[in-house]
């Protein structure tokens, strides 16, 4: 059993379990958290899961957990693990079932005050136009050729079809198309599951949220991102839907044999992995990239549907309801990146499982107009609280493989939340605070109650103080569409 | 029902028992249906026969649950009767009976291998399964 005594406190908000803690650890395990958040992490199995990731072949520097760490399966959620290439491994379970689950933020020049009389119409249009639920079907059913294009080209296909602008692509991680996709490694059943799911939200913690910009911490950077105090913003949180789930299932199952073939010993079978450059490793990477492109395309089509919904609700009533994209980020992904380790640039495979890339100023992978300020980072909170816009930093690149937190992080099980909270009461309670809730399932809504989450402001404060993400703005919810 | 839901911060998990491996598989499928909040389906009836392979019983258990999720999602069906026609350590042949789905979409995305081990007990077999939701 792990407790606080197993940690060495390296700095106010940095805690380390040394590699001597367990014989199979190859590197130390680090938790970035304040004391209370560390206590919360020790309340479930998440730190043991973090220690498990420190055993992966090729893991470098240290296995990292962000302050929103909580128990997942295999990797903890809020984990960052990098393996040295070419000999290091890639782990499908380290990316998870919702490959490229992520967040997109759109902003408007319209104020929340102007929108307020029409909010119910907007929320109702969003709920009607953006299908939700695990198996929900979208407006498009793709032919084999069209699906192949989506898997290879991601948001680029959406641009060709008129569902995106070049500006949207410029403001998307990897410009909406991750390299290395090859659909030859995506199974028929994964295609079947995804064929009609583009433009759908899914279930669980996925949502569309209309927000108000409630506070701005860095006026010049916020202005550069088009974020203005009092104005409307819209967040989309979802991923690669059934297609991504199936890609992960296919490879986690196949890799059960691969770990035996490569004689890799692991403390948990969900951590199955293979050397990145091996046949199995490459096949998974090609398939994962396809699922990631599918997720970029999914959020892009949802953005299109959201813009249509705003038009339906506001045309003739509000002058400028145009929604411009701030950024789109992934928080479940394995990516090949260069990072400095012991003064040398090293090529690594960075697994971010419930953590966000947060590259600072000067990064060559950012669009030219963001290079001097850094990459926008989007941190959604729970339904009744707040969300944050941060900007990536040089410190993140130095300390955490260019990564930061991804959300509030759960602190209570879904079963317990449902026992404590009734979905209808929660909806009414939030309604009294002026937050409209549209949800397909009241039971699912109760599972996502704010009480089941940590305080997102506290999580963000930790990464801000550590310098691995700088606060730019805070958003408060006005209407939430839940999957 | 021979299962109990166990606490998991982000996802869902249950512990399930069976007097033999075949019964463990059937009880796990029923337990997943309960977690998935599946409502009894409407007409017409649905029947699927499946064959699966795996390197061991744990892999077969995960593949079995994921196969059911896949069929339910892609065909819009709900299964509530499970017949194991043949089960070994590496092979499974089974029949699923149910109906067209009429309820809302289920929340479970996938069964995982996390901390999965099928244990022999005095009364048969027991396993803990964690699901991604």
Q: How far is Cα B17 from Cα B35, in angstroms, rounded to an integer?
A: 16
| Distance from chain centroid for Cα A303 | 16
Residue pLDDT, tens place only, B51-72: 999 999 999 999 999 999 999 9
User: Would an 8 Å CB–CB cutoff place A204 in contact with chain B?
Assistant: yes
CATH (residue range B3-132): 3.55.10.10
pLDDT at A134 (0 to 100): 57
A124-129: average pLDDT: 94
Q: Which tokens belong to A281?
A: 């490793």
Look at the block and give the residue holding tokens 């499970």. B82
A156-185: average pLDDT: 98
Q: How far is Cα A365 from Cα A469, in angstroms, rounded to an integer?
A: 17
Tell me whether residue A431 is exposed, middle or buried, using C-beta atoms within 10 angstroms of its C-beta: 0 to 12, 13 to 18, 19 or more: exposed
List CB contacts (< 8 A) between B52 and chain A.
none
Partners of B82 in beta bridges: B96
B22-35: average pLDDT: 95
CB contact at 8 A, A389 and A326: yes
Is beta strand A403-404 parallel, antiparallel or unpaired with respect to B12-18?
unpaired
**The one catalytic residue among A70, A304, A351, A406:** A406
Q: What interface predicted TM-score (ipTM) does this complex get?
A: 0.89
A306-331: average pLDDT: 96
Q: How high is the mean pLDDT of chain B?
A: 91
Residue pLDDT, tens place only, A244-274: 999 999 999 999 999 999 999 999 999 999 9
User: Would an 8 Å CB–CB cutoff place A413 in contact with chain B?
Assistant: yes
A116-142: average pLDDT: 87
Q: Which helix (H) or strand (E) holds A250?
A: helix A241-261
Q: How high is the mean pLDDT of chain A?
A: 95
A432-460: average pLDDT: 91
Helix (H, G, I), strand (E, B) or coil at A192: helix
Q: Model confidence at A111, in pLDDT bands (50, 70, 90)?
A: very high
**Residue A300's closest CA among A123, A172, A136?**
A172
pLDDT at B43 (0 to 100): 79
**A356, pLDDT greater than 80:** yes
Q: Which tokens belong to A150?
A: 């989506």
Contacts (Cβ under 8 Å, ≥6 apart) of A161: none
A328-350: average pLDDT: 97
**B105, pLDDT greater than 70:** no
User: Would an 8 Å CB–CB cutoff place A353 in contact with chain B?
Assistant: no
CB contact at 8 A, A264 and A273: yes
CB contact at 8 A, B79 and B48: yes
CATH 3.30.365.10 fits A4-411+453-482, yes or no: no
**B104, pLDDT greater than 80:** no
CB contact at 8 A, B125 and B18: yes
Q: Which helix (H) or strand (E) holds A459?
A: helix A456-466
| Distance from chain centroid for Cα B49 | 14
CB contact under 8 A, B37 and A412: no
**A8, pLDDT greater than 90:** yes
Q: What is the 3-state secondary structure (H, E, C) of chain B?
A: CCEEEECCCCCEEEEEEECCHHHHHHHHHHHHHHHCCCCCCEEEEEEEEEEEECCCHHHHHHHHHHHHHHHHHHHCEEEEEEEEEEECCCEEEEEEEEEECCCCCCCCCEECCCCCCCEEECCEEEEEEEEEC
Q: How far is Cα A321 from Cα A108, in angstroms, rounded to an integer?
A: 6
CB contact under 8 A, B8 and A413: yes
A343-363: average pLDDT: 97
Chosen for mutation from A92, A201, A249 (greatest number of chain B CBs closer than 10 Å) is A249
List CB contacts (< 8 A) between B37 and chain A.
441, 443
Chosen for mutation from B15, B39, B114 (greatest number of chain A CBs closer than 10 Å) is B114
Q: How far is Cα A319 from Cα A305, in angstroms, rounded to an integer?
A: 19
CB contact under 8 A, A256 and B112: no
Closest-CA distance of chain B to residue A208, Å? 17
List CB contacts (< 8 A) between B62 and chain A.
253
User: Would an 8 Å CB–CB cutoff place A415 in contact with chain B?
Assistant: yes
Backbone φ, ψ for residue A160 (5° rounding): -60, -30
User: Would an 8 Å CB–CB cutoff place A246 in contact with chain B?
Assistant: yes
DSSP state of A42: T
**B36, pLDDT greater than 90:** no
Look at the block and give the residue holding tokens 């850094």. A374
Q: How far is Cα A373 from Cα A356, in angstroms, rounded to an integer?
A: 17
Residue pLDDT, tens place only, A204-232: 789 999 999 999 999 999 999 999 999 99
pLDDT at A339 (0 to 100): 97
User: Would an 8 Å CB–CB cutoff place A34 in contact with chain B?
Assistant: no
B24-52: average pLDDT: 88
Contacts (Cβ under 8 Å, ≥6 apart) of B119: B125, B126, B127
List CB contacts (< 8 A) between B114 and chain A.
72-74, 93, 268-270
DSSP state of A131: -
A406 in active site:
yes
**B42, pLDDT greater than 80:** no
CB atoms within 10 A of CB A22: 17
Q: How far is Cα A284 from Cα A102, in angstroms, rounded to an integer?
A: 20
CB contact under 8 A, B7 and A77: no
Backbone φ, ψ for residue A299 (5° rounding): -65, -30
pLDDT at B106 (0 to 100): 73
Q: Which tokens belong to A340?
A: 């400095």
Closest-CA distance of chain B to residue A365, Å? 32
List CB contacts (< 8 A) between A410 and chain B.
9-10
Q: Identify the closest residue of chain A to B109 by CA–CA distance.
A: A245
Enumerate the domain spans of chain A.
4-411+453-482
Out of B9, B70, B72, the one facing A71 most closely (by C-beta) is B9
CB contact under 8 A, B109 and A204: yes
CB atoms within 10 A of CB B117: 11
Helix (H, G, I), strand (E, B) or coil at A102: strand
Those residues of chain B whose CB sits closer than 8 Å to some CB in chain A are: 5, 7-12, 37, 54-56, 58-59, 62-63, 66, 70, 72-74, 76, 104-110, 112-116, 130, 132-133
pLDDT at B37 (0 to 100): 73
CB contact under 8 A, B58 and A269: yes
List CB contacts (< 8 A) between B10 and chain A.
70-72, 77, 410, 414
CB contact at 8 A, A75 and A45: no
CB contact at 8 A, A442 and B37: no
Look at the block and give the residue holding tokens 């992960």. A248
User: Would an 8 Å CB–CB cutoff place A203 in contact with chain B?
Assistant: yes
Left if phi > 0, otherwise alpha if psi is -120 to 50, otherwise beta: which for A392? beta
């Amino acid at each position: 059993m792990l407790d606080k005594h197993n940690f060495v406190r390296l700095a106010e908000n940095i805690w380390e379990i040394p590699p001597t803690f367990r014989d199979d650890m190859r590197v130390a395990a680090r938790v970035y958290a304040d004391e209370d958040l560390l206590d919360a992490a020790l309340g479930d199995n998440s730190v043991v899961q973090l220690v498990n990731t420190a055993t992966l072949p090729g893991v470098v520097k240290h296995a990292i957990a962000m302050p929103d760490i909580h128990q997942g399966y295999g990797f903890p959620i809020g984990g960052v693990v990098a393996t040295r290439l070419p000999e290091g491994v890639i782990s499908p379970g380290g990316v998870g079932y919702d490959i490229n689950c992520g967040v997109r933020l759109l902003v408007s020049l319209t104020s929340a005050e102007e929108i307020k009389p029409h909010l119910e119409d907007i929320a109702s249009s969003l709920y009607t136009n953006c299908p939700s639920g695990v198996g929900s079907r979208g407006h498009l059913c793709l032919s084999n050729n069209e699906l192949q294009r989506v898997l290879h080209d991601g948001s680029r296909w959406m641009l060709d079809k008129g569902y995106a602008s070049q500006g949207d692509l410029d403001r998307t991680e990897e410009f909406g198309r991750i390299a290395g996709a090859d659909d030859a490694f995506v199974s028929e059943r994964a295609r079947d599951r995804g064929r009609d799911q583009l433009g759908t939200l899914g279930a669980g913690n996925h949502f569309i949220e209309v927000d108000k910009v409630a506070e701005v911490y860095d006026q010049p950077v916020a202005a550069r991102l088009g974020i203005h105090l009092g104005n409307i913003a819209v967040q989309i949180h979802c991923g690669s839907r059934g297609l991504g789930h199936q890609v992960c299932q296919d490879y986690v199952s196949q890799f059960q044999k691969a770990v035996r073939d490569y004689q890799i010993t692991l403390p948990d079978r969900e951590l199955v992995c293979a050397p990145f450059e091996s046949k199995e490793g490459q096949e998974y990477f090609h398939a994962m990239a396809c699922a990631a492109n599918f997720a970029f395309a999914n959020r892009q089509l949802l953005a299109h549907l959201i813009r249509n919904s705003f038009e339906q609700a506001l045309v003739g009533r509000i002058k400028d309801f145009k929604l411009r994209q701030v950024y789109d980020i992934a928080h479940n992904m394995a990516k090949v990146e260069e990072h400095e380790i012991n003064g040398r640039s090293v090529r690594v495979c960075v697994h971010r499982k419930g953590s966000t890339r947060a590259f600072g100023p000067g990064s060559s992978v950012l669009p030219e107009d963001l290079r001097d300020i850094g990459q926008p980072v989007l941190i959604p909170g729970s339904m009744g609280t707040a969300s944050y816009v941060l900007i990536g930093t040089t410190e993140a690149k130095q300390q955490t493989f260019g990564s930061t937190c991804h959300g509030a992080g759960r602190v209570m099980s879904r079963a317990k939340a449902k026992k404590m909270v009734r979905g209808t009461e929660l909806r009414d309670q939030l309604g009294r605070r002026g937050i409209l809730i549209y949800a397909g399932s009241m039971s699912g809504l109760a599972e996502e109650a704010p009480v089941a989450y940590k305080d997102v402001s506290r999580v963000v404060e930790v990464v801000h103080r550590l310098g691995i993400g700088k606060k730019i703005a805070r958003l408060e919810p006005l209407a939430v569409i839940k999957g | 029902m021979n299962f109990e839901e166990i606490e998991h911060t982000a996802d869902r998990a249950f512990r399930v028992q069976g007097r033999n491996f075949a019964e463990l598989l059937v009880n796990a499928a029923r337990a997943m249906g309960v977690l998935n909040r599946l409502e009894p389906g409407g007409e017409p009836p649905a029947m699927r026969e499946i064959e699966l392979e795996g390197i061991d019983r744990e892999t077969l258990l995960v593949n079995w649950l994921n196969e059911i999720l896949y069929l339910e999602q892609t065909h819009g069906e709900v299964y509530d009767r499970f017949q194991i026609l043949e089960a070994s350590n590496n092979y499974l042949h089974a029949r699923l009976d149910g109906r067209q789905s009429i309820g809302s979409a289920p929340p479970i995305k996938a069964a995982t291998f996390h901390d999965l081990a099928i244990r022999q007990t005095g009364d048969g077999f027991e396993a803990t399964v964690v699901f991604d939701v």
